[in-house]
Amino acid sequence: MDGPLKDYKILDLTMYLAGPLASMYLGDLGADVIKVEPPVGDLLRKAGPPFYEGGDSAYYMAGGRNKRCMCIDLKTDTGRELFLKLAADADVVLENFRPGVMEKLGIGYDVLKKINPEMIYAGLSGFGETGPHRELPAFDHILQAYSGWMSITGTEESGPLRPGPSIADLLGGIHTGYAITLALLHRERTGKGQKVTVSLLDGMVSTLFPQILSFLADGEIPKRAGNMHPIIVPFGSFETADGLMNVAVGTVPQWRALCDELGAPEFGDNEEFHTNEGRSKHRDEIHGMMAKALAKKPRAQWLELFAKYDIPCAPVNDLRDVYEDPQVQHNNMFIEMDHPLAGKVKVLNNPLRVQQMSPKEWTPPPARGENTRDILGEYGLSGEEIDALYDKKIVA
């Protein structure tokens, strides 16, 4: 597939979500991603329901596109030798095992860089390559708790809540793809390969602002603010006569216009309320006024009124609303791919607009081991040699 990463070859040993998302983003941009799975396959394939025809889960479809797939048993000597043959010709090796597993398999960075000094080796882990918790198992849910994200999500009444999306995995995939791209750029300039590491924990902690910045400034642990912003007022969710909407104010003209439309011009005229610091001191009073006024009219009417004054606002959409939204549709954020077993499969588009990337060029997530024979043939193995590997269950 054409794209800015065309002609780069990536060996993708990752499973579950964070690592496969990273390689998917690179595949979207044209890289030749070879997903190397164990003979049993990526366990994310069975993380359902729902499942598509053919047995793969919708979850697996999230990060499986634009890849080829082969299965190798890396716990065998022949399997490791086969992988090293592939790695000698790869631009990137990407893995998300626990730290130390690649070394135990005999295919760690020290081994790989000897056979391919220009390779980029990318390791994605839960807690980091080194440190006291390096070997602990980690899934998205675990990191949401450990990183402090849950402690600042929800309300004082609800207690800590898990944010809906798999945010640790999503950030991990983005950060890993970013790190690999930077390392490839560095190699273009210097000719040198390197090892890059990303941890889900670091990604989560790095995005804790503004709460963590407040804590660093005054040592106070911020309270959970629910749908309201912990610092900016007004900045949150309010019930209208027929649905929930978000409203935010950032300037004095916006504040005055908001108060006028809500029938509370005295709030807009109050100079103390012309700064966020002043409004923050009267948070409950302001939110109470807004809640009472907004509940009197339908949401669509408020959205139309606020738009006239450039007041930031939005309906709180459900996923059907998002899918049908004209701006989301215009941005082409949902695309269809032709899957050989499941038929038409709808997936999320890549949000990057680096260049025109036609969905017609994208390939659906491969079946387990779908491309094993073709890839081995590309590396010079004869049909008889490949058959022997199948017979010995080295590949699948």
As annotated, the active-site residues are: 169
Cα-based distances in Å from 320 to 50, 237, 287, 309, 316:
17, 19, 29, 28, 12
- Residue 225's DSSP bridge partners are 155
- 336, 359 contact by CB (below 8 A): yes
119 SS3 class: coil
- CA 111 to chain CA centroid, Å, is 30
CA distance 122 to 95: 6
DSSP symbol at 292: H
- Closest of 2, 154, 149, 19 to residue 96, by C-alpha: 19
Spatial strand order in the sheet of 235-239 = 235-239, 244-248, 313-315
Q: Report helix angle 252-261 to 299-308, nearest 10.
A: 140
CA distance 394 to 379: 16
Cα 289–Cα 292–Cα 297 angle in degrees, nearest 5: 125
Question: Residue 286 — left, alpha, or beta (φ > 0 → left; ψ -120 to 50 → alpha)?
Answer: alpha
238 SS3 class: strand
